[in-house]
Amino acid sequence: MRIVTSLSVAVVALASFTVLAQKAAAQQVAQTPPMGWNSWNYFAGKVTDKDIRASADQIVSSGMKDAGYIYVNIDDTWEGQRDASGVLHTNDKFPDMKALADYVHSKGLKIGIYSSPGPKTCAGYEASYGHEEQDAQLYASWGIDYLKYDLCSFIGDVMEKQAPNDKAAQMRIMIAAYDKMDKALKATGHPIVLSLCQYGWDAVWEWAPGIGGNLWRTTGDITPRWDRIYAIVSQQSGLEGYAGPGHWNDPDMLEVGNGKLSLAENRSHFAWWALLAAPLLAGNDLPNMKPEIKAILTNRDVVAIDQDALGKQGRHAYSDGEVEVWVRDLKGGALAVGVFNVGSDRYSTHPFHLDLSKLGLHGSQAGKDLWTGKAVTLTDNEPIELGSHDVLLVRVDAPK
Ligand code: GLA
pLDDT at 120 over 90: yes
pLDDT at 70 over 50: yes
92 is catalytic: no
Full 3-state SS string of 295-319: HHHCCHHHHHHHCCCCCCCCEEEEE
pLDDT at 17 over 60: no
Sorted by sequence, the CB contacts under 8 Å of residue 148 that are 6+ apart come out as: 38, 73, 75, 112, 113, 114, 115, 195, 197
Query: At 153, phi and psi to the nearest 5?
Result: -70, -10
Say what the pLDDT of residue 11 is: 46
Say what the pLDDT of residue 175 is: 98
Q: Using the atom order of ligand 1, give the atom closest to the CA of residue 221.
A: 8
Give the least confident one: 23-32, 113-122, 288-297, 340-349.
23-32
pLDDT at 186 over 50: yes
Q: What is the pLDDT of residues 273-332, one digit of tens each?
A: 999 999 999 999 999 999 999 999 999 999 999 999 999 999 999 999 999 999 999 999
Confidence of residue 123 (pLDDT cuts 50, 70, 90): very high
Contact 122 CB / ligand 1 (< 6 Å): yes
Instruction: Name the residue of 46, 196, 221, 254 whose CB sits within 8 Å of the most ligand 1 atoms, as the mutation to test its pocket.
Output: 221
Provide long-range contacts, Cβ within 8 A and 24+ apart, for 195-198. Answer: 195/34, 195/112, 195/146, 195/147, 195/148, 195/149, 195/250, 195/279, 196/149, 197/148, 197/149, 197/150, 197/151, 198/150, 198/151, 198/174
Q: How far is the CA of 373 from the centre of ligand 1 (A)?
A: 36
221 is catalytic: yes
Say what the pLDDT of residue 20 is: 42
Q: Using the atom order of ligand 1, give the atom closest to the CA of residue 197.
A: 8
Between 335 and 346, residue with greater pLDDT: 335
| CB-based burial label for 236 (10 Å; 0-12, 13-18, 19+) | buried
Q: What is the pLDDT of residues 250-271, one digit of tens each?
A: 999 999 999 999 999 999 999 9
Average pLDDT over residues 229-241: 98
Q: How far is the CA of 116 from the centre of ligand 1 (A)?
A: 10
Confidence of residue 347 (pLDDT cuts 50, 70, 90): confident
Q: How far is the CA of 326 from the centre of ligand 1 (A)?
A: 29
Say what the pLDDT of residue 28 is: 85
Query: At 50, phi and psi to the nearest 5?
Result: -60, -40
Q: How far is the CA of 184 from the centre of ligand 1 (A)?
A: 22
Q: What is the pLDDT of residues 356-390, one digit of tens each?
A: 999 999 999 999 999 999 999 999 988 999 999 99
Contact 40 CB / ligand 1 (< 6 Å): yes
